[in-house]
Structure 1
Amino acid sequence: AAPPSLLPLPDEIAGECAAMENVAAPLKERLAATLAEELPLIARDGGFIAKGASADLDETRALRDDARKLIAGLQAKYAEETGVSALKVRHNNVLGYYIEVPPRHGEKLVQPPFSETYIHRQTMANAMRFTTTELASLASRIAEAAGRALEIELALFDELVAAALAETSALARTAQALAALDVTAALAELAVERRHVRPRVDASLAFAIRGGRHPVVEAALAKTGEQFVPNDCDLSADSAEQSATDRSGAEGGAQSRHDAPKSLWLLTGPNMAGKSTFLRQNALIAIMAQMGAFVPADEAHIGTVDRLFSRVGAADDLARGRSTFMVEMVETAAILNQAGPRSLVILDEIGRGTATFDGLSIAWAAVEHLHDVNRSRALFATHYHELTVLAEKLAHLANATMKVKEWKGDVVFLHEVGPGAADRSYGIQVAKLAGLPSPVIARAQSVLSTLEKGNDREARAKLIDDLPLFSATARPDAPPAEESAAEAELKAINPDDLTPKEALELLYKLKGLARE
């Protein structure tokens, strides 16, 4: 019985525990008595039958393992029997086991009564060799002992298999119970260690997660001592409420649309800010909730998800003649053709594999189709900031963005999701973090500034005229670069007038100027 301090087991778990006791007792007792404590991985390695389970096997093992002791005992017996203390039992690859005595004693063994027991085999210059029927039999049994021991074990194994097959139903039920208990115990331990909570799962169209976390990323960060930044996500939707809201054109209805949770989020923000992690963590929480596990969140309410659609990452299928963009479009087509109101959809960067206007157009149309036709709960991550204006047109679309801060020209990722839209992608800052050469970063910033200031055609024409390769000829009157303090100091130096000490002091001074 469970200790009073513990809650009683749920009926499902109690039933699994009871099922494990239903295995036939005779089989359990036989397995316990026959199998060794430590079992090999492969039956042909032997050693899995316990000592005492088979007298024949114990004798064979003794012969296999104690051959030297048996030979020594036989040697002592023959020495005492013949009175020849110099008698030895030896072995070689030609004769096998044999008895060896000095020549002066060998003549004794070829005479009766010893000649009836000791069979002469070989005469050497300094020894005579004999054998006996007993020694030959023992030698044969020693040679066969290892193979014979394994043969006996495998025969006993076959008997145990037959006995187990006779209890197939009971064993299958026990295996099922063990599997259920193993999964349940593992998930329970994980829930305690990682602060997972029990989700509310029902037949609604809710999807409200407070303080959600990505279980794998959180575990990886924990190993480095870092904390995962949790985020909320509310895609809750009710088809009846949506229809009523859609039909309402009054000002009050518009206010209701603004305040109510939106089933489609358009997520913008820079790379490396955590958009993909946010998409994946919400999909994983939905899967864990519906499989019966606690989830990595402070609170979660998941309306039943009939299908989960995911279009993330970039991959090609060249063997089938599909480029990266083609694979992306095939996956997007599957979502737009199959997703329904009860589905959960996560899409990451639709349209990025083609020309800018083509990609933007495809992404724009996909968002509208998800909203108007599929009506799925969905997270749509994109770098096309132009899509954010759709929030003014689509009643169930909300803009969300990854929060960042700029500090001295660099970008700091906060990994927080909040309402609103990003006005830029900070791609050049991310490229800088990745280690692109400084001239490349500087040129990229110059090009970006030019493109942002003028219209598309004028900006491109200006960039062509301003290519770095031709900058020297395009701008001959450009002012010379200002001389640095270190360069000025170097010009004033006369190396021939410097003592070693002065040269060293000057070197430190120049080093200090270079740092400024």
Structure 2
Amino acid sequence: GPGLRALLARAKLGPPPLLQEVAEGLGHHAELVDRLGRALGPDLPLLARDGGFVAPGYHAALDELRTLAGESKRLIAGLQTRYVADTGIDSLKVKHNNVLGYFIEVAAKRADPMMGKDGPYIHRQTMANAVRFTTVELSELEDKVRGAADKALALEMELFKDLCGEILTRAAEIAEAAAALATLDVLASLGELAADQRYTRPEITTGTEFVVEDGRHPVVEAALGRTGDGPFVANGCDLSGGNRLWLLTGPNMAGKSTFLRQNALIAVMAQMGSFVPAAKARIGAVDRLFSRVGAADDLARGRSTFMVEMVETAAILNQATERSLVILDEIGRGTATFDGLSIAWATVEHIHDVNRCRALFATHYHELTLLAGKLPELSCHSMRVKEWQGSIVFLHEVATGAADRSYGIHVAKLAGLPAAVLHRAEDVLERLEKGDQGGAVASLAEDLPLFAVALKKAEKKEAAAQGPSPVEAALKAVNPDDLTPKQALEELYKLRELLRP
């Protein structure tokens, strides 16, 4: 508290209003802090009932009781020394257990001198190898020690209750100080993060612009920094003017979802008062942020993944305003192709014409790019990739224009699908892209691997029914063991002639 207030007082331009509020909220607790510092010891027990939490020197009566309890070992050792000298038994020991308390123990064969009724030693217990005694003096010391420990604990509990009472009377002030410390912790953490990660101060306006230069995803960037997988590729986003709706296409793993999320996070961080991971940011205040990203079902309510997607999309279309920011990722992917395309198409039109909000819409339906010619405030963008040696390299850069391909089979190859599956997928894709989808699917069904195998077996049976070919007949008539090298070469030329049509 005092240190922070002194630091703020040295500021040439004066502390910012929020920090000034924090400094005032910390309050003045020197008296309470001093009392707690004097009252509580450095090593506190887990439970108050265990005692030992009040510091030495805080309460004189408690110190006296602790001294008596703590010096019991020294007093017992003094009594043992005197008893050894009195009896002449060097093996005499003063011991303690929970049943007898403190007692004198000697070997059974040397206990006879102590058994006299007129002596100071009172017999307590006889065992096979030892005899136990006590004395009036030892019993009185035990009572004092036990009483001192109990009284010390009771006094500690009274002191603890008194401390709690004082703290409760200051509960409101302490709660206010805790809230101020929490605010200061957040501000300091955000400030340190901004300095370390090169964040910039955003500009929040009353308009509807959304301009981010070289924006970055704070979490993904930090993860890449820890793993050493290279720097994060920054991308800008401008939803101002006639570009308030971006249609983003590109292959899986190219970075579409990351781009959507990073802009949503930048909006949240800017409006909470933080610096943002970008070179520059100018954002019109957002009234609500809507997100439809990822896939999840709701089995407890009987909702499929597609149903959850539609419920969330409906909430966006019914509630988003012109000041809202919306990110939508692959709407319509959970149903039939044409159904999904139709829903995605209508959703884009509704956001553009009715909601009129700032939105990022990522999709694999390349047909939606045709809407750019119909909707004046929609612009097409794509994630750049580079083909190299039969593979693709993800550049993670956002570029103007639509993607020409989805590269789904390339991504499947990276995932480790078997080569046979990849070749078959390429064959199916080539046929589907060449002509009518309905006819292509029908021909593909006839050429399914199961039927292809059956067809090969049928061709083999037909060839066997027609008898051997001329080449097979000639080859069967040749006996390699009877041929000289020259004759073998001549036979090879004859077989080659038979293969010619």
The letter of the residue matching 1:209 is V
Residue 145 of structure 1 deviates from its aligned partner by 7.6
Q: 1:462 to 1:123 in 2, by over 3 A?
A: closer
Residue 15 of structure 1 deviates from its aligned partner by 3.5
Q: 1:138 to 1:326 in 2, by over 3 A?
A: farther
Indicate whether 1:264 and 2:259 are aligned.
no
Indicate whether 1:217 and 2:220 are aligned.
yes
Aligned to 1:132: 135
Residue 54 of structure 1 deviates from its aligned partner by 3.5
Residue 125 of structure 1 deviates from its aligned partner by 6.9
Aligned to 1:230: 234
Contact 1:211 1:230 survives alignment (8 Å): yes
Q: TM-score, normalised by structure 1?
A: 0.80
Q: 1:287 to 1:93 in 2, by over 3 A?
A: same
Contact 1:466 1:474 survives alignment (8 Å): no
Indicate whether 1:52 and 2:72 are aligned.
no
Q: Which residue of 407, 410, 428 maps to 1:429?
A: 410
Q: Which residue of 397, 414, 439 maps to 2:395?
A: 414
Q: TM-score, normalised by structure 2?
A: 0.82
Residue 398 of structure 1 deviates from its aligned partner by 0.8
**Is 135-144 or 417-426 further displaced after alignment?**
135-144
Contact 2:215 2:262 survives alignment (8 Å): yes
Query: Which residues in structure 2 correspond to 1:133-172 (within 5 Å)?
Result: 133-139=136-142, 152-172=155-175
Contact 1:263 1:397 survives alignment (8 Å): yes
Aligned to 1:28: 33
Residue 121 of structure 1 deviates from its aligned partner by 1.9
Q: Which residue of 195, 199, 202 maps to 1:199?
A: 202
Residue 29 of structure 1 deviates from its aligned partner by 1.9
Q: 1:123 to 1:439 in 2, by over 3 A?
A: closer
Q: 1:382 to 1:73 in 2, by over 3 A?
A: farther
Aligned counterparts of 2:13 and 2:127: Cα–Cα separation in 1: 85
Aligned to 1:189: 192
Q: 1:54 to 1:371 in 2, by over 3 A?
A: same
CA RMSD of aligned residues (A): 2.8
Indicate whether 1:71 and 2:76 are aligned.
yes
Aligned counterparts of 1:263 and 1:146: Cα–Cα separation in 2: 77
Aligned counterparts of 1:431 and 1:146: Cα–Cα separation in 2: 75
What percentage of residue pairs aligned between the two structures are identical?
A: 61
Aligned counterparts of 1:410 and 1:346: Cα–Cα separation in 2: 30
The 3-state SS of whatever aligns with 2:397 is: strand
| Unmatched 5+ stretches in structure 1 | 238-259, 478-516
Aligned counterparts of 2:50 and 2:123: Cα–Cα separation in 1: 40
Aligned counterparts of 2:425 and 2:193: Cα–Cα separation in 1: 47
Aligned to 1:352: 333
Residue 318 of structure 1 deviates from its aligned partner by 1.3
The letter of the residue matching 2:442 is A
The letter of the residue matching 1:236 is S
Aligned length: 450
Aligned counterparts of 2:277 and 2:199: Cα–Cα separation in 1: 4
Residue 222 of structure 1 deviates from its aligned partner by 0.2
Aligned counterparts of 1:412 and 1:214: Cα–Cα separation in 2: 20
Query: Which residues in structure 2 correspond to 1:77-476 (within 5 Å)?
Result: 77-80=82-85, 85-92=90-97, 94-101=99-106, 107=113, 110=116, 112=118, 114-115=119-120, 118-123=121-126, 128-139=131-142, 152-225=155-228, 226-237=230-241, 260=242, 262-474=243-455, 476=459
The 3-state SS of whatever aligns with 1:181 is: helix
Report the structure number with the largest CA radius of gyration. 2
Residue 143 of structure 1 deviates from its aligned partner by 6.5
Contact 1:106 1:128 survives alignment (8 Å): no
Residue 8 of structure 1 deviates from its aligned partner by 5.0
The 3-state SS of whatever aligns with 2:264 is: helix
Aligned counterparts of 2:414 and 2:441: Cα–Cα separation in 1: 27
The letter of the residue matching 1:51 is P
Aligned counterparts of 1:450 and 1:104: Cα–Cα separation in 2: 110
Contact 2:89 2:110 survives alignment (8 Å): no
**Is 428-437 or 127-136 further displaced after alignment?**
127-136
Contact 1:403 1:414 survives alignment (8 Å): yes
Q: 1:343 to 1:383 in 2, by over 3 A?
A: same
Contact 2:45 2:51 survives alignment (8 Å): yes
Aligned counterparts of 1:399 and 1:449: Cα–Cα separation in 2: 26
Contact 2:218 2:262 survives alignment (8 Å): yes
Contact 1:465 1:474 survives alignment (8 Å): no
Aligned to 1:491: none
Q: 1:393 to 1:18 in 2, by over 3 A?
A: same
Aligned counterparts of 1:447 and 1:151: Cα–Cα separation in 2: 86
Residue 87 of structure 1 deviates from its aligned partner by 3.1
Q: 1:270 to 1:107 in 2, by over 3 A?
A: same
Aligned counterparts of 1:104 and 1:29: Cα–Cα separation in 2: 59
The letter of the residue matching 1:37 is P
Provide Cα deviations, 1:272-323, integer angstroms capped at 9, x if missing partner. Answer: 1111111111111111111111111111111111111011111111111111
Aligned counterparts of 1:47 and 1:91: Cα–Cα separation in 2: 22
Q: 1:188 to 1:470 in 2, by over 3 A?
A: same
The letter of the residue matching 1:433 is L
Aligned counterparts of 1:145 and 1:413: Cα–Cα separation in 2: 78
Q: 1:371 to 1:27 in 2, by over 3 A?
A: same
Contact 2:27 2:173 survives alignment (8 Å): no
Q: Which residue of 6, 13, 16 maps to 1:10?
A: 16
The letter of the residue matching 2:305 is T
Residue 84 of structure 1 deviates from its aligned partner by 5.4
Contact 2:322 2:357 survives alignment (8 Å): yes
Contact 2:65 2:148 survives alignment (8 Å): yes
The 3-state SS of whatever aligns with 2:332 is: coil
Contact 1:110 1:120 survives alignment (8 Å): no
Q: 1:45 to 1:426 in 2, by over 3 A?
A: farther
Residue 133 of structure 1 deviates from its aligned partner by 3.7
Provide Cα deviations, 1:184-207, integer angstroms capped at 9, x if missing partner. Answer: 111111111111111111211121
Q: 1:4 to 1:28 in 2, by over 3 A?
A: closer
The letter of the residue matching 1:453 is K
Aligned counterparts of 2:418 and 2:52: Cα–Cα separation in 1: 64
